Structure 1
């Protein structure tokens, strides 16, 4: 095995040890391979990524910036490199942090925005003309704040959600398509409850006629369905500030305003919204700065984020991450009536997390 092959294999092993979803590990391998190829070009390739000199990583950062990679892309690349190197036995957080590498800071403000009521009505009408499945998918994302992949894969859970709301539940469980298969409970916007129920019921009826698929790809796989969804979103005009992710901004703004109006403490609003959107209880600052930017004035002087976040940090899980995730999948499967996971038999590949 050549030096390059050894280095790539070693990085892949380290990435797997670091954990994360299949997609996360795949992205780490892609990002670290770019560094290893650069190291080979400058004559500093070693059998392990942990053996690379710090100056190589700094030089690679300058190389990536010269290629005009976006700030978010740069942050992701060097985060993957630090994680993989740390698992390989060498901590480079201090010597190769984003500041030391002089990376441009990612600025999300203004990249997306919540859509107005008139824009939503026009969007749904356009989506209906483009593809009925797309219309249902947009409606679900609007009322539940779903990510694109979560909305695409939620069809097997629609009956479970409808049953929960019929029983009077104020939230619904979500796991399919979530980042790192991290389960969460999605808060239902009270003022939109009937609209949410109708959206779920309509989508369920549509899915019953189409093998539980909102969007069907040419190869009947998740990847082909995602590619077709991207094409449909472009046809519907969902690009730039009003891309699919803007529906999460619309959901967040509506939910936050409703919670504030009902008397919930401002900081608690941010925590609950963060958990409902799949960011966990400690991302209140991010929720405030990005999703709640238009109503930020309603939070001014009423919260102390750094002090309030300390007690929110979850204690270490007693179970290994893989075991905890497996148990969560089993619970979700029992609730929905359909298996969750790549190896489940008898279920269309589109339903896998």
Structure 2
């Protein structure tokens, strides 16, 4: 059955300007880090992507290594784009990244111009597109001069293979330096993608200030702390959850110490008429410097529940004070 997009898709999703650019991003963007790879169920991935677009999500975030296996999330996304969304390409923001290990040898990782531009070419081929909207350097490379990595982003834009340049996981000082180099090259930095949640708040120690000063947008990843900021772990670690899997990023020893806070935060969320996940997502958007929040999903239902956060984004001063008190404990 051929796909036709929901005609009212732009009526409820709020869009926010990304730094000092012409781009507006949806309050929630869809990240394809988990659940969209070759090991996952293709029809489920397709259903989530199409539902996301119907809900007003225009931004789909990928990286060269998303899978597993690496590259397979881009391949799957490319199939869905070709099969269902090709008529809507100009309504989409598609991003990808290079910076983590992608192939063997000295040119398959980090931040050399050779690696980054070869990786982008491979990403475009996998997705079957001529350009991405945003190309990110995925992490700073301590060995490669920052100028070289930024020149690769600039070259990708000048070649028409990317419309905008972005950086991810950069600390405040490196982010400022990267922004200044890119501006001198004539390709301003559009966006920074840091890990940010109620439990991971390093961006508040200077990075958000730098982004504001430099006119760069911010899109937060891992907003639910790998699932910790959901009601999944209220009664310990359930079977089949991320923390129960040996290969996941969320370890049991990270869950146990956080449970008391999770329970208290859950109580605040319930008083607001929200789930804990919804409150955690809304909490990030309270800061005007956050342009968008990247949500992951394993099912259409979970995606819909996350997007429903837009119905209750406001916090009272008392609620914010109470949340701070719980997080500081």
Structure with max Cα Rg? 1
Which is strand-richer, 1 or 2?
2
Structure 1 or 2: more helix by fraction: 1
TM-score (norm 2): 0.29
